[in-house]
Amino acid sequence: MLDVKKPLVRVQGLKMHFPIYRGILKRQVGEVKAVDGISFDVFEGETLGLVGESGCGKSTVGRCVLRLYEVTAGSIEIGDTDIAHLSGQELRAKRPEMQMIFQDPQASLNPRMTVGSIISEPLDEHMKMSKAEKREKVGELMDAVGLARRFADRYPHEFSGGQRQRIGIARALALNPKFIVCDEPIAALDVSIQAQVVNLLEDLQEKLGLTYLFISHDLSMVRHLATRVAVMYLGRLVELGPAETIYMTPKHPYTQALLSAVPHPDPSQAGNIDRVILEGDVPSPSNPPPGCTFSTRCPRAQAICKQDSPEWREIGEGHFAACHFIE
Partner 1 sequence: MLDAGATILNVANLKTVFSTRDGYVHAVNDVSFYLKPGELLGIVGESGSGKSVTMMSLLKLLPMPPAEIRNGTIDFDGRDIRNASDEELRNIRGGDIGFIFQDPMTSLNPVFSVGFQIIEPLRVHMKLSKKAARVRAAELLELVGIPDASARLKDFPHQFSGGMRQRVMIAIALACDPKVLIADEPTTALDVTIQAQILELIKELRQKLGMAIIWITHDLGVIAEIADRVAVMYAGQIVEHAEVKELFANPQHPYTRALLETLPKMDEARAERLASIDGQPPNLDHEPTNCEFAPRCKHAFERCLKENPKRRDVSPEHDVACFWDANTGGPHSA
Pick the piece of the chain touching partner 1 (CB under 8 A) from 36-44, 117-125, 188-196, 287-295: 188-196
Give 56 or 64: the residue with its C-beta nearer to partner 1: 56
Considering the complex, state which of residue 92 and residue 275 has its C-beta at the smaller distance from partner 1. 275
Residue of 23, 153, 265, 303 interacting with partner 1 (CB under 8 A): 265
What is the distance between the alpha carbons of residues 124 and 132, in angstroms, rounded to a whole number? Answer: 13
Whether residue 106 contacts residue 188, with contact meaning beta carbons closer than 8 Å, is answered with yes
One-letter amino acid at 139 equals G
Please work out the total of residues on this chain that contact partner 1, with binding judged by CB under 8 A.
41
Task: By CB under 8 A, name the one of 170, 174, 219, 229 that touches partner 1.
Answer: 219
Stretch touching partner 1 by CB under 8 A, among 4-12, 38-46, 68-76, 254-262: 254-262
**Is 221 one of the binding residues for partner 1 (CB under 8 A)?**
yes
Examine residue 310 and tell whether it contacts partner 1 (CB under 8 A). Answer: no
Angstrom distance (rounded) from CA 151 to CA 139: 10
Contacting range for partner 1; rule: CB under 8 A; set: 80-88, 116-124, 275-283, 310-318: 275-283
Instruction: Give the binding range for partner 1 (CB under 8 A) out of 12-20, 26-34, 177-185, 267-275.
Output: 267-275
* Interatomic CA distance for residues 267 and 233, integer angstroms: 30
Whether 175 contacts 123, CB under 8 Å: yes
Question: What minimum distance in Å lies between the beta carbon of 49 and partner 1?
Answer: 12
Q: How far is the C-alpha of 175 from the C-alpha of 95, rounded, in Å? A: 9
Q: For residue 68, state whether it binds partner 1 (rule: CB under 8 A).
A: no
Sign of CA dihedral 137, 119, 123, 80: negative
The span of 26-34, 96-104, 215-223, 286-294 binding partner 1 (CB under 8 A) equals 215-223
Binding mask 71-110 for partner 1 (x = CB under 8 A): ----------------------------------------
Q: How far apart, in whole angstroms, are the C-alpha atoms of residue 308 and residue 55?
A: 23
Size of the chain, expressed as the number of residues it contains: 327
Distance CA 324, CA 312 (A): 10
Is residue 179 a contact partner of residue 7, using CB atoms and an 8 Å limit?
no
Instruction: Kindly write out the interface string for residues 224-253 of this chain, putting x where it contacts partner 1 by CB under 8 A and - elsewhere.
Output: x------------------x---x------
Distance from chain centroid for Cα 73: 19
Q: Which of 110, 199, 302, 307 binds partner 1 (CB under 8 A)?
A: 199
- Report how far residue 122's alpha carbon sits from residue 1's, in angstroms, rounded to the nearest whole number: 36
* Bridge partners of residue 30, in order along the sequence: 20
Question: CA-to-CA distance for 100 and 66, rounded, in angstroms?
Answer: 8
256 binds partner 1 (CB under 8 A): no
Which residues in this chain contact partner 1 in the complex, by CB under 8 A?
53-54, 160, 162-163, 190-196, 198-199, 202, 217, 219-221, 223-224, 243, 247, 257-268, 270, 275, 277-278, 281-282
